[in-house]
Structure 1
Amino acid sequence: FSTNLACAVVYDVAIVYFCGWAGFLYLVFAFFFSIGLHPVGARWIQEHYTYDFDQETFSYYGPINRVALNMGYHNEHHDLPSIPWSNLPRLRAMAPEFYKNLKYHSSWSRLLFQFVFDKRYSLYSRVERMKEKAGSQATPELTNSRTGNLDLSARPISF
């Protein structure tokens, strides 16, 4: 932690020295409005972070999708990535048997506060497709399930 903090401070001092305070403030505001404590920053949490590890990805169904090119339809995008963004809501409506029982988020702001203050979440709560489960063969029963024969358990982030 201390090495990371020291590097960040040295970098910030260098930015102020070479670019002035305007350059530094530009980076601060760019961070804030892209991924920082801005509700749209919760998109990264919404997509792959969980506290119970029972689902691979999560969608967001809220009003920001109207101006964010349906970026919140993450499950639908993972299922059929070739579907254009404009048709993702239609895909969800056409296949409710696949999506109506999945957990989803309806507020990025609420999710951001939950991620910061709920102890069930951590930086290690990320779910990713890692590999096939040991010794499993793809059978029709498995391939028809949502997770198939994939190991969806979270892994600690290694640096």
Structure 2
Amino acid sequence: MTQIKHRNSSHTFTINPPPADAPIEVLNEFYWTKDPEPHIARRKLILEKYPEVRKLNGYEPKTKWYVIAIVGLQVAVAYYLRDSSILSWKFFLLAYVIGATSNQALFLAIHELSHNLLFKKPLHNKLFAIFANIPIGIPYSASFQPYHQLHHKFLGDKYLDTDLPTKFEAIVLSNVLGKIFFATCQIFFYALRPMFITQIKFTYIHLLNVIAQLAVDTLMVKYFGWKSVIYFLMSSFLAGSLHPCAGHFIAEHYVLNDNNVPKVQKTEGANIASGYQLPAETYSYYGSLNLLTWNVGYHNEHHDFPYIAWTKLPELRRIAAEFYDPLPQVTSWCGVIWWFITNDINTLWNRVKREGKEMHGHKIDNLDKN
């Protein structure tokens, strides 16, 4: 028997976790819940106590200048490496240190743009995201926005939140070798998984994204050579691989280490035992790597207020400190990758899921109008 204590409460509950020799379908399962996601409720409480938080909403115009500088840096490095061997240490180190760090920043700039946080008009954000997409090498920005909006609107929904690993992924990859493969190739999972789970409407923005990226790649090959495009693609792969900044992919929503609690009831879609508190499903990181990633580590704050730009998230946390200080935090993105791979209790099953409903077309189509 195990005792679980509620956070911020003196009450404890005694539960019976499944034995180690229980059937695999009992031991291996997600944290299923019928409870609503916590961010809406916390947002309401914060706004009731601190209505001035509303003034933090809005776009951050200076972000575009940083993005332009990063795109320029990537183009310059691609030009510098145009005659270098792609198997050389110089090529790899520049792709890892400069390229991956820069492209991770561009991934997350596109994340800011998906919330319309660089320009006042949504269309301007979409078009600038296509520009930010250039060093990534493949068209990505137009598809990211609707999928990411689904992640916010339907957090944990097994049909609509494509950030969640599938049952197949969890079964196959919840071992040391599988976790190494997952951590090394995260970028492919995030790029390909959505297409197998939820379909989105193809729009003129998607077409423009594809045309613009193909045009830039063609010009790069013509004037710089194909190695420059390889630099872009290698930078993107490494940005979503075993790179310090890539730790945020796992850190944001996986239930790791001491935050794990025994999964008592394993029936898909059912609540866990009465009086039993699910682990937190979003985690913030307040370390120095936020300087390179537009404060994406402030992830509870971001999910609570997705229309506050990255420069104002620390101020949100300062104002509403009593709401955020008690929440479990991630102390190291590098550590997250290591703990995820090496600790047996950390697997792809460690996500909170909701049963949700089958995807309906109107939900997807209406996202672009918000």
TM-score range, shorter chain: 0.5 to 0.7
Conserved in 1, the CA contact under 8 Å of 2:245 and 2:293? Answer: no
Cα distance in 1 for partners of 2:299, 2:236 equals 24
Cα distance in 2 for partners of 1:24, 1:69 equals 26
Give 4+ residue runs of structure 1 displaced > 4 Å after superposition: 21-29, 128-131
Residue 40 of structure 1: aligned partner? 245
Residue 282 of structure 2: aligned partner? 57
Q: For 2:335, what is the secondary structure of its paired residue?
A: helix
Change in Cα spacing, 1:91 to 1:129, as seen in structure 2 (3 Å) is: farther
Cα distance in 2 for partners of 1:36, 1:95 equals 34
Cα distance in 2 for partners of 1:58, 1:128 equals 15
Cα distance in 2 for partners of 1:130, 1:66 equals 36
Change in Cα spacing, 1:129 to 1:85, as seen in structure 2 (3 Å) is: farther
Conserved in 1, the CA contact under 8 Å of 2:317 and 2:324? Answer: yes
Task: Indicate whether 1:72 and 2:304 are aligned.
Answer: no
Q: For 1:89, what is the secondary structure of its paired residue?
A: helix
Q: For 2:282, what is the secondary structure of its paired residue?
A: coil
- Residue type matched to 1:61 in 2? Y
**1:121-140, aligned counterparts within 5 Å?**
121-131=346-356
Residue 344 of structure 2: aligned partner? 119
Cα distance in 2 for partners of 1:128, 1:44 equals 17
Residue 99 of structure 1: aligned partner? 324
Q: Structure 1 residue aligned with 2:237, among 31, 41, 51? A: 31
Q: For 1:48, what is the secondary structure of its paired residue?
A: coil
- Residue type matched to 1:124 in 2? W
Cα distance in 1 for partners of 2:237, 2:301 equals 28
Aligned pairs, number: 113
Cα distance in 1 for partners of 2:340, 2:312 equals 30
Change in Cα spacing, 1:47 to 1:84, as seen in structure 2 (3 Å) is: same
Cα distance in 2 for partners of 1:81, 1:26 equals 29
1:84-137 Cα shifts (integer Å, max 9, x gaps): 111101101101111011011121001110011011111221234554xxxxxx
Cα distance in 1 for partners of 2:298, 2:243 equals 19
CA RMSD across the alignment: 2.6
Change in Cα spacing, 1:67 to 1:28, as seen in structure 2 (3 Å) is: closer
Task: Indicate whether 1:110 and 2:335 are aligned.
Answer: yes
1:24 shift after superposition: 7.0
TM-score by length of 2: 0.28
Cα distance in 1 for partners of 2:232, 2:308 equals 36
Conserved in 1, the CA contact under 8 Å of 2:283 and 2:299? Answer: yes
Cα distance in 2 for partners of 1:129, 1:44 equals 20
Cα distance in 2 for partners of 1:47, 1:81 equals 14
Which sections of structure 1, spanning at least 5 residues, go unmatched? 2-20, 132-159
**Structure with higher helix content:** 2
Cα distance in 2 for partners of 1:28, 1:94 equals 41
1:13-36 Cα shifts (integer Å, max 9, x gaps): xxxxxxxx957786455312x111
Which has the greater radius of gyration? 2
Cα distance in 2 for partners of 1:82, 1:25 equals 33
Change in Cα spacing, 1:25 to 1:117, as seen in structure 2 (3 Å) is: farther
Residue 23 of structure 2: aligned partner? none
- Residue type matched to 1:38 in 2? H
Cα distance in 1 for partners of 2:355, 2:315 equals 30
Cα distance in 1 for partners of 2:355, 2:309 equals 26
Cα distance in 2 for partners of 1:110, 1:117 equals 10
TM-score by length of 1: 0.62
